[in-house]
């Protein structure tokens, strides 16, 4: 055997085909276990630099587009094509042939055969037998032999063979279609250095030619984010850790993006009103797309894929949460924009990242309650002059937790962390003012004496002497001072520093009792200063005060000395579109139809052959049967025919 | 496939009778009732239906007629489902809260109750099948079969009524109950059992019921866990990606595949027992088991192929590409490749015996992972059925 012959034998062999199927299966698994196409930084964090480099070299971050994966597919196509090439001539021959050349000797050697004695009337026998075969769906040919005997060669279900051809041709067609729509041409161009991936964050029109794909690009799958009112004529194709710019033969404008919701708050539909602007069109084409209903224009399918903020305008009240100031400072901002707050060394930069009008959350503690819409939130970063940034997510409306209402803000110092939440209790008007006023009073050292005085009036009996009163007031002022410097943590430090170990537990309880009492005074004072008279302190207020003290203690861990309370928003949405051109799609679909036809043919058509050799001299008929797949059905059928023939021939 | 042989004197040669001549008056009555019902439904509701729904309606009339003609018990099942479902729907009087008030709905044929009955009946059927196997009792075997049919009936009634309930929540929430794990698990139980019942009749053997009902009962266990521990049995509105006609054929086709593969795996386990000379006298012969296993896998393979293709067509519409190498798609491919290799080795290499049985059994693990594991462990675009 020559080498090329041997290679042909190998590639077209079953063994090789099954091996390729196995390898393809395993390779596919890798891609599902390792998250694909994440930003590369995530992989570095996950695996460390060494493994990251190794995995990148192996193309594991985009397995299905890596060169070695394509090679497997090419082998599959090659192996299947050769297999078809090798088997088809035989199959077609089998499909047509009646095999009327069989000899009596070979019929006797069949595992399924039987010989009958029969009457003299040759014509009647022949007629009976051909009727028998036709009624059972067999087609046949008759040959007369020199010795006077006649052979009827019959067959049924020959189209099973077509099943083989269809199925395997379908595999090849589907793979070719898939490879056409894959990024093979791009891969080749990259290999020869004609194209490079862009990874800088620069405007589309500044992306150099080497990273641009022309309008004539045969197949692509690219994305475009269009804010309402904007238009674009390029899309972005993600490639590994960067992108390429795909130019389009027309431009798309978004006039409106809508999300409809079910009564429960879950999204019901995403819709974009698009306008296609194309010099080839007499007037712009208006069309609304939604999920499952794309628009196909000039061979490019435009899908509704996702949505995001398109630069909503937002208004905030900024509270200096660690100051004694009771009034907020209004600030404006827009998503993707930056706003300076304060100046000099204390200056902060607010970077607005995302705004969401609807947030479906399940706030019940045990997770058994129903999720519902809790209203808008905003995600932003606060960057200090040293360049350090913390990320926050603030909800506009108070959320109900445990039956009470809180303004909630999440904070984290890096994207790997989970958000930690600050809960600020809403006052009786469901506003933040109540808390903020009280916080201002508690942080105002000038007012501590006044609070302590008021508290002493209530806590001490009128008869207590002045010295005790002064001493008591002084210790309350000290306590307030400590709380104002660092919340409960500072008080704990105070206790650790000044109380012997054995009495600390008791002291802590006393201090907390005092702080709670003092808080009530501080609250009343804050309300009076805001011009509210006759402040009542009831059970609700008590809970509010407790929550407020906890919140004030948490403020010291909030990271930045400001709290952004969203007051107004003007939403501007952006629609995420996916644009694809896939010329291989029709191949894939027609291959699929062929595949289904082929598989059903292979499974449900059973190829069987029958030979009936009529020998007038001996007055016998030899019956033999075979099938290309001898299974149980075949045995049953043979036995049935055997007995039916016996009844027929012995009549 | 009809195997009934007509042995009247006119058919002296014992020739196979053409399909339509085999149909009796019951078959025709059944088909007429079915088609009449679709026509009535159409005349009553056509103003709410678009071209797809009209096609589905009449398509269902034809498909179920054929199904009933080919496999007679389906006729009775369908009549039973229709009667009970209509009766149940009638009791609602358009008010969801009736479930808690009306006796029949609360204890028998409200959607969740009917599903509970299905659960109970399936488990009972399994126990009865096993008892019949060990006691060699033909009568108990018949009882087990009836229990299975009853479970299938209740399951379908549960789904039909649930379908109606979803429209009571709000007209725009209404949808066919094939859209979350709870619903598809019910479908899985029903399809697997129906397929088993078909083969039970064709092979005239009830000994495999205990084996097959084992997977069905496992699925029942999942439904119960999902209901009581996760409270995930509620009707949720459809997210936009699921609002597609493809879903309505993709999902059932998939579950015919999953059901057939499970059936094959359970038959394979029986085969392995017989191979090890365990329960040999009680179980069917090895060649029968082998044949059944092959049939189940080929049916499963054919439908799984269709399902995967439909999935690709749907993905092309919803996600912008017929193949995105999303985890669920990829695992579907792996399952498919696995059974393609199985069929090759059997058909081309003529491989038989315990090796293939073990493979079919392990195939079930792969299939289960594709069906459940992907939702639990891997992330992807498939937006429904997270655990
Ligand atoms: C992805 C690749 C392939 C797939 C999905 C595939 C699929 C199939 C299927 C579904 C069957 C029919 C089994 C049945 O009757 O139910 C089959 C049969 C067969 N396959 Fe493949 N096949 C592939 C590649 C190959 C290759 C490369 C060869 C070459 C050695 C091959 C040779 C055969 C043969 C000879 C048969 C039996 C035909 C018969 O006896 O009727 N297959 N294949």
ipTM value for the complex = 0.90
Residue linked to tokens 């894939």: A588
DSSP state of A464: S
Give the pair of three-digit tokens for residue B308. Answer: 């995967």
CA of A175 to the centre of ligand 1 (A): 15
**In angstroms, what separates the C-alpha of B385 from chain A's closest C-alpha?**
15
Distance CA A243, CA B284 (A): 61
Q: To the nearest whole percent, how much of chain B has pLDDT over 70?
A: 94
Angstrom distances, CA of residue B287 to CA of A311, A468, B342 = 69, 102, 17
Contact B310, B250 (CB under 8 A): yes
For residue A196, what are the contacts with CB-CB under 8 A and spacing of at least 6?
A: A190, A210, A211
Its pTM stands at 0.83
Beta bridge partners of A256: A273
Ranges of H-type helices in A194-236: none
Please choose from A10, A602, A629 the residue to mutate so as to test ligand 1's pocket, defined by most ligand atoms within 8 A of CB. Answer: A602
Nearest to A267 among B240, B244, B305 (CB): B240
Ranges of H-type helices in A137-201: 160-181, 184-191
CB contact under 8 A, B325 and A64: yes
Angstrom distances, CA of residue A414 to CA of A391, A417, A419, A539, A558 = 7, 6, 9, 40, 14
CB contact under 8 A, A135 and B298: no
Contact A555, A487 (CB under 8 A): yes
Residue A275: alpha-carbon gap to chain centroid? 28
Residue among B212, B208, B213 nearest B133 (CA):
B208
Distance CA A91, CA A360 (A): 60
- What is the predicted pLDDT for the residue at B47? 92
- What is the predicted pLDDT for the residue at A58? 85
DSSP state of B236: -
Nearest to B309 among A596, A647, A648 (CB): A596
Residue among A362, B326, B376, B240 nearest B385 (CA):
B376
- What is the predicted pLDDT for the residue at A554? 92
Beta bridge partners of A380: A352, A392
- What is the predicted pLDDT for the residue at A1? 66
Angstrom distances, CA of residue A416 to CA of A37, A45, A356 = 18, 9, 21
Residue linked to tokens 């891997």: B378
User: Phi and psi of A155, rounded to 5°?
Assistant: -150, 155
Q: Which residue of A has its CA nearest to B303?
A: A596
Beta bridge partners of A154: A140, A610
Distance CA A483, CA A261 (A): 46
Burial, A110: exposed, middle or buried (Cβ in 10 Å; 0-12, 13-18, 19+)?
middle
pLDDT tier for residue B383 given thresholds of 50, 70 and 90: very low
Distance CA A526, CA A434 (A): 8
Length of chain A: 651
- What is the predicted pLDDT for the residue at A59? 82
User: Phi and psi of A380, rounded to 5°?
Assistant: -150, 165
Residue among A139, A145, A180, A176 nearest A158 (CA):
A139
Element (DSSP H or E) covering residue B35: helix B25-45
- What is the predicted pLDDT for the residue at B386? 40
Give the pair of three-digit tokens for residue B318. Answer: 């919803």
The ligand 1 atom nearest the CA atom of B337: 5
CB contact under 8 A, B317 and A294: yes
CB contact under 8 A, A292 and B301: no
Contact A393, A377 (CB under 8 A): yes
DSSP state of B107: I
Q: Which residues line ligand 1 (CB under 6 A)?
A: A 12-14, 17, 21, 76, 79-80, 83, 87, 164, 167-168, 171, 599, 602-603; B 298, 340, 343-344, 347-348
Q: Is A291 on the interface with B (CB under 8 A)?
A: yes
CA of A63 to the centre of ligand 1 (A): 26
Contact A641, B16 (CB under 8 A): no
Nearest to A35 among B244, B287, B379 (CB): B379
Beta bridge partners of A568: A315
Could you report the per-residue pLDDT of B19-28, keeping only the tens digit for each? 888 899 999 9
Cβ contacts below 8 Å, chain A against chain B, sum to 128
**In angstroms, what separates the C-alpha of B350 from chain A's closest C-alpha?**
9
Distance CA B286, CA B372 (A): 31
Give the pair of three-digit tokens for residue A441. Answer: 């009073």
Give the pair of three-digit tokens for residue A582. Answer: 């896939």
Residue among B312, B90, B63, B295 nearest A590 (CA):
B312
Mean pLDDT of B350-370: 92
Distance CA B303, CA B324 (A): 21
Distance CA B363, CA B370 (A): 11
Nearest to A292 among B231, B306, B318 (CB): B318
Mutate to test the interface with A, among B250, B323, B347 (most CBs of A within 10 A): B323
Quick one: chain B helix, strand, coil %, rounded to 5?
Answer: 75, 0, 25
- What is the predicted pLDDT for the residue at B6? 45
Element (DSSP H or E) covering residue A393: strand A389-395
Q: Which parts of chain A sit beneath pLDDT 50?
A: none
Q: Quick check: B262 pLDDT over 50? A: yes
The b/e string for B53-86 (b: 16+ C-beta within 10 A; e otherwise) is eeebbeeebeebbeebbebeebbebbebbbebbe
Residue linked to tokens 């992306």: A207
Please provide the DSSP assignment of B345-374 as one string.
HHHTS---SHHHHHHHHHHHHHHHIIIIIH
Please provide the DSSP assignment of A310-340 as one string.
---EEEEEEEETTSS--S-EEEEEETT-EEE
Residue among A394, A354, A355, A397 nearest A374 (CA):
A397
3-state secondary structure (DSSP) of residue B375? helix
Distance CA B116, CA B119 (A): 5
Distance CA B93, CA B88 (A): 10
Q: Quick check: B9 pLDDT over 70? A: no
Distance CA A140, CA A161 (A): 18
Q: Which residue of A has its CA nearest to B297?
A: A603
- What is the predicted pLDDT for the residue at A241? 79
First to last CA, chain B: 40
CB contact under 8 A, A368 and B231: yes
Angstrom distances, CA of residue B309 to CA of A81, A335, B47, B249 = 21, 42, 32, 11
Quick one: chain A helix, strand, coil %, rounded to 5?
Answer: 45, 30, 30
First to last CA, chain A: 58
Strands, DSSP E only, in A500-607?
A: 562-570, 573-581
Q: Is A90 on the interface with B (CB under 8 A)?
A: no
Residue nearest to atom 27 of ligand 1 (CA): A80
CB contact under 8 A, A631 and B294: yes
Contact A607, A156 (CB under 8 A): yes
Q: Which residue of A has its CA nearest to B5?
A: A640
Could you report the per-residue pLDDT of B59-117, keeping only the tens digit for each? 999 999 999 999 999 999 999 999 999 999 999 988 888 888 888 888 888 899 999 99
Residue among B302, B329, B299 nearest B314 (CA):
B329
Please choose from B347, B349, B350, B356 the residue to mutate so as to test ligand 1's pocket, defined by most ligand atoms within 8 A of CB. Answer: B347
Residue B41: alpha-carbon gap to chain centroid? 25
Torsion-angle region of A149 (φ positive above 0: left; ψ -120 to 50: alpha; else: beta): beta
Contact B364, B265 (CB under 8 A): yes
Strands A212-213 and A242-261: parallel
Residue among B303, B362, B293 nearest B332 (CA):
B303
CA of A17 to the centre of ligand 1 (A): 9
* Gyration radius of chain B's alpha carbons: 22
Burial, A230: exposed, middle or buried (Cβ in 10 Å; 0-12, 13-18, 19+)?
middle
For residue A142, what are the contacts with CB-CB under 8 A and spacing of at least 6?
A: A126, A130, A150, A151, A152, A153
Distance CA B328, CA A143 (A): 57
CA of B296 to the centre of ligand 1 (A): 18
For residue A36, the chain B residues in CB contact (below 8 A) are 325
Residue among B197, B291, B9 nearest A637 (CA):
B291
Contact B185, B219 (CB under 8 A): yes
CA of B257 to the centre of ligand 1 (A): 19
Contact A204, A245 (CB under 8 A): yes
């Amino acid at each position: 055997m020559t080498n090329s012959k041997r290679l042909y034998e190998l590639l077209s062999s079953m063994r090789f085909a099954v091996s390729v199927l196995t390898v393809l299966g395993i390779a596919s698994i890798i891609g599902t276990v390792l998250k694909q196409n994440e930003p590369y930084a995530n992989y570095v964090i996950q695996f460390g630099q060494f493994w990251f480099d190794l995995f990148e070299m192996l193309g594991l971050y985009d397995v299905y587009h890596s060169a070695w994966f394509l090679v497997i597919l090419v082998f599959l196509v090659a192996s299947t094509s050769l297999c078809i090439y090798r088997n088809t001539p035989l199959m077609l021959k089998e499909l047509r042939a009646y095999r009327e050349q069989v000899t009596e000797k070979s019929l006797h050697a069949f595992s399924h055969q039987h010989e009958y004695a029969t009457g003299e009337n040759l014509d009647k026998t022949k007629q009976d037998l051909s009727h028998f075969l036709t009624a059972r769906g067999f087609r046949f040919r008759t040959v007369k032999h020199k010795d006077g005997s006649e052979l009827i060669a019959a067959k049924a279900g020959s189209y099973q063979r077509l099943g083989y051809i269809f199925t395997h041709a379908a595999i090849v067609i589907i793979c070719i279609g898939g490879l056409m729509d894959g990024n093979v041409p791009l891969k080749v161009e990259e290999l020869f250095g004609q194209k490079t991936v862009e990874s800088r964050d620069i405007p589309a029109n500044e992306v150099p030619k080497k990273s641009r794909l022309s309008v004539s690009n045969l197949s692509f799958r690219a994305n475009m984010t269009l804010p309402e009112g904007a238009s674009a004529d390029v899309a972005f194709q993600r490639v590994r850790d960067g992108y390429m710019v795909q130019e389009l033969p027309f431009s798309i404008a978004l006039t409106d993006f809508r999300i409809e919701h079910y009564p429960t708050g879950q999204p019901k539909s995403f819709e974009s009103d698009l306008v296609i602007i194309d010099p080839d069109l007499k007037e712009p084409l208006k069309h609304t797309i939604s999920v499952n209903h794309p628009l196909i224009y000039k061979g490019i399918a435009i899908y509704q894929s996702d949505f995001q903020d398109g630069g909503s305008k937002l208004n905030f009240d900024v509270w200096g949460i660690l100051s004694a100031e009771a009034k907020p400072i209004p600030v404006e901002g827009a998503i993707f924009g930056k706003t300076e707050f304060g100046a000099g060394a204390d200056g902060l930069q607010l970077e607005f990242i995302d705004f969401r009008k609807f947030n479906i959350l399940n706030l019940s503690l045990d997770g058994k309650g129903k999720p519902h819409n809790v209203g808008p939130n905003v995600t932003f970063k606060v960057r200090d002059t040293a360049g350090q940034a913390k990320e926050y997510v603030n909800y506009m409306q108070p959320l109900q937790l445990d039956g009470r209402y809180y303004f909630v803000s999440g904070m984290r110092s890096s994207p790997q962390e989970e958000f930690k939440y600050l809960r600020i209790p809403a006052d009786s008007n469901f506003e933040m003012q109540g808390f903020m006023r009280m916080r201002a009073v508690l942080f105002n050292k000038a007012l501590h004496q006044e609070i302590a005085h008021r508290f002493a009036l209530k806590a001490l009996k009128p008869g207590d002497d002045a010295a005790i009163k002064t001493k008591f007031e002084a210790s309350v002022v000290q306590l307030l001072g400590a709380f104002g410097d660092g919340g409960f943590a500072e008080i704990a430090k105070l206790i650790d520093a000044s109380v012997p170990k054995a009495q600390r537990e008791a002291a802590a309880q006393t201090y907390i009792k005092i702080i709670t009492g003092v808080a009530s005074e501080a609250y009343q004072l804050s309300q009076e200063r805001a011009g509210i008279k006759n402040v009542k302190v009831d059970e609700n207020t008590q809970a509010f005060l407790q929550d407020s003290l906890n919140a004030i203690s948490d403020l010291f861990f909030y990271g930045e000395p400001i709290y952004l309370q969203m007051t107004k928003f003007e939403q501007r949405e952006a629609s995420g579109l996916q644009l694809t051109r896939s010329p291989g799609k029709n191949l894939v679909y027609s291959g699929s139809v062929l595949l289904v036809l082929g598989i059903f043919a292979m499974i449900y058509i059973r190829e069987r052959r029958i030979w009936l050799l009529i020998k007038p001299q001996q007055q016998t008929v030899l019956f033999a049967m075979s099938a290309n797949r001898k299974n149980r059905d075949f045995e049953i059928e043979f036995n049935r025919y055997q007995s039916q023939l016996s009844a027929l021939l012995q009549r | 496939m009809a195997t009934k042989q007509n042995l009247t004197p006119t058919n002296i040669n014992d020739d196979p009778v053409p399909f339509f001549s085999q149909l009796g008056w019951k078959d025709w009555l059944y088909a007429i009732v079915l088609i009449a019902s679709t026509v009535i439904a159409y005349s009553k509701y056509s103003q709410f239906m678009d071209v797809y729904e009209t096609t589905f309606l009449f398509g269902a009339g034809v498909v179920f007629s054929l199904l009933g003609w080919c496999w007679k018990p389906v006729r009775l099942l369908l009549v039973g489902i229709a009667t009970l479902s209509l009766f149940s729907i009638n009791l609602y009087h358009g008010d969801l809260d009736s479930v808690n008030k009306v006796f029949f709905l609360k204890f028998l044929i409200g959607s969740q109750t009917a599903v509970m009955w299905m659960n109970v009946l399936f488990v009972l059927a399994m126990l009865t099948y096993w008892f019949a196997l060990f006691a060699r009792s033909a009568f108990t075997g018949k009882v087990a079969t009836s229990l299975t049919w009853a479970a299938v009936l209740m399951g379908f009634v549960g789904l039909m009524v649930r379908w109606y309930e979803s429209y009571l929540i709000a007209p725009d929430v209404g949808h066919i109950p094939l859209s979350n794990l709870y619903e598809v698990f019910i479908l899985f139980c029903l399809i697997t059992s129906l397929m088993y019942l078909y083969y039970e009749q064709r092979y005239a053997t009830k000994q495999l019921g205990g084996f097959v009902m084992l997977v069905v009962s496992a699925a029942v266990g999942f439904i119960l866990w999902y209901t009581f521990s996760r409270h995930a049995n509620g009707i949720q509105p459809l997210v936009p990606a699921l609002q597609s006609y493809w879903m309505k054929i993709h999902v059932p086709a998939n579950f015919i595949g999953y059901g057939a593969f499970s059936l094959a795996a359970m038959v394979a386990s029986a085969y392995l027992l017989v191979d090890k000379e365990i329960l040999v006298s009680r179980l069917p012969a090895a060649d029968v088991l082998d044949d059944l296993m092959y049939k189940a896998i080929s049916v499963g393979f054919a439908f799984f192929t269709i399902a995967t293709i439909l999935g690709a067509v749907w993905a092309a519409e919803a996600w912008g590409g017929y193949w995105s190498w999303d985890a669920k798609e990829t695992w579907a491919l792996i399952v498919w490749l696995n059974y393609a290799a199985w069929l090759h080795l059997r058909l081309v290499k003529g491989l038989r015996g315990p090796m293939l049985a073990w493979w079919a059994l392990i195939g079930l693990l792969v299939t289960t992972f594709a069906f459940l594991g992907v939702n639990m462990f891997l992330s992807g675009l498939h937006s429904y059925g997270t655990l």
